[in-house]
Structure 1
Amino acid sequence: MVQYCRKCGKELSDDAEFCDGCGFQLDENLKNNTQVVKQDSENKNEFVKKLPLILAIIGIIVSIAEGLGTPMIMGWNDILIAMGVGIVGGLIGILLMEKLDEPLIAAVEFIATGALIYVFIARFGEISTVLFIIAAILALYFKGHYTHKKKLWAIPILTVVLIFGILIAGGAFYQINAENSIEVSNITQDIKSNGYGYYNGKVYGDIFVGANFDYLKVTIDFYDDQGKILYSTIGWNQVHPDSGKTYKFEGMYYKEKQPIKAEIKVSDSANSETPLYSENITLTTESGV
């Protein structure tokens, strides 16, 4: 195939790379285009390799936002710990991945960070948890799964141990202080049989709050003669109750079965399994007919 010089127009052989008339390089544009495509490909690969870092940074930011958006009923201490874990754990993972070239240990740190966030604030930390786990997977995929210094494995282990150590110690101190700051008094019962096969009435009293709490609630559980819960109700709850103030609580009952016992519990979070205060009272049913 005959080709012509794009600069001077001279007829050239089909395999010519230079014009023998003016010296023009015939494939210069092709080489330039090839270099541009190659550069674009390298830039894209470089961006893709930065994804673990980008996701880890986003995970840190999101963990802070999620902590600030978590309802107070989850407990302010747990919220603060979750935010601290997101910041510190995320930064340690980035340091291990980018500066110390330890992608495997960094991945474990990211996974531990995400798991700890979920432990403390559950579904309110789902997005940051997922981001840290994806960052860990991509770190292993793009940067490898090797370890240079085995001693650095102590970092993710110490992260988990330290967090739970702080949680246990702080929780024990808080529990003792909180229990001593709650006083329940003037408990009164008024349960009657209405003569139509139903029992109705209420258990009520006072609760004194002697310290600052993010959230408090009073729950009243009504039991039958076999210890089975017939009905459970919240008699009072409040976010940031005033310290030094006495509040009224009241638990209503209306069921077919006669309640034999009532348990009054005071908790400082929506899902607390260890109440700050608990008291059982025997119920005396009167005829309301």
Structure 2
Amino acid sequence: MIGKGQSISRTQASIEYGWNQEKEAEVVLKEHLAGETPKQITDEFRIIQSQNDRCTKNTLSFVVSPTVKDGKNLNHRDLEKIAQRFIKEMGLKNHQAIGFVHKDKQHTHVHIYANRISLKGEVYKDSFIGKRSQIAADNVAKQLGLTRVREVQQQKLQELKWQRVTIKYLNDRVLETRPKTLDDYIQKMNARNVKVIPSINKSNQLQGFRFEYQGANLKGSEVHRSMSGSKLIAEISQNNSYSKLKEVPKTLKLVNTTVQLSTNMASKIAKDLAKQVIKRGLDAGMGMGY
């Protein structure tokens, strides 16, 4: 089961979407609410939201999605349990909330809208809400015996085992040529029919790489743990000069442009570079002893 979450300002429009009868919508959650229409629910939200008018994105929007297989076997009561437990896991029991199940596609899923302002007028902290939603959904799946994200991921990786093995093999052969830049590495991988796709966020920060090969599209860490973005950059960086191993570059040249490193990426690279310095020192020490 997968969970997604974000803070929004389009309260009524979002609730109207959730209540869309064309999507065979059914109400599976109603907390601290009495209204029977999107407008009535929105008005009730706004009464509470008026206690804190500085918060503009004052509604929380979540989508909780069981796997297709699990969804086919879930009845109305099961979906109510999923919504209720998700709200509890997110720490929103003291907030107005409404949830709808959509069955318009093969994939049954639940839309939940919660007031970001609690009944006491407190603002719910939405930092890392996407990640927290994933964890909450995984916890609910574990509690209810549903398929968890990691199980789906493991199955996917197993099905793509031969592509992963081949990408790793080609990666190792390219690294043996000691590419000195990311562009050089990417070009050499492309020449071996592996497309390397940089993952760059809206702030122009490099977060990692994806690899496309024979119908597979995988994060580097899904191919092999040694192929995470931080480890690749650390290894390619050391091909320039030994002295640079002590420094983490703030920016990198990539496909005729300059990109920044995300804070998380820079931190991981620093750790990987430190490990490589230690390893080289140990290897050199062992070599001198013979």
Same fold (TM over 0.5): no
Q: Whose strand fraction is larger, Structure 1's or Structure 2's?
A: 1
- Say which one has the larger Rg: 1
Question: What TM-score do you get using the length of structure 2 for normalisation?
Answer: 0.27
With CA pairs under 8 Å and 6+ residues apart, which has the higher RCO, 1 or 2? 2
Question: What TM-score do you get using the length of structure 1 for normalisation?
Answer: 0.27
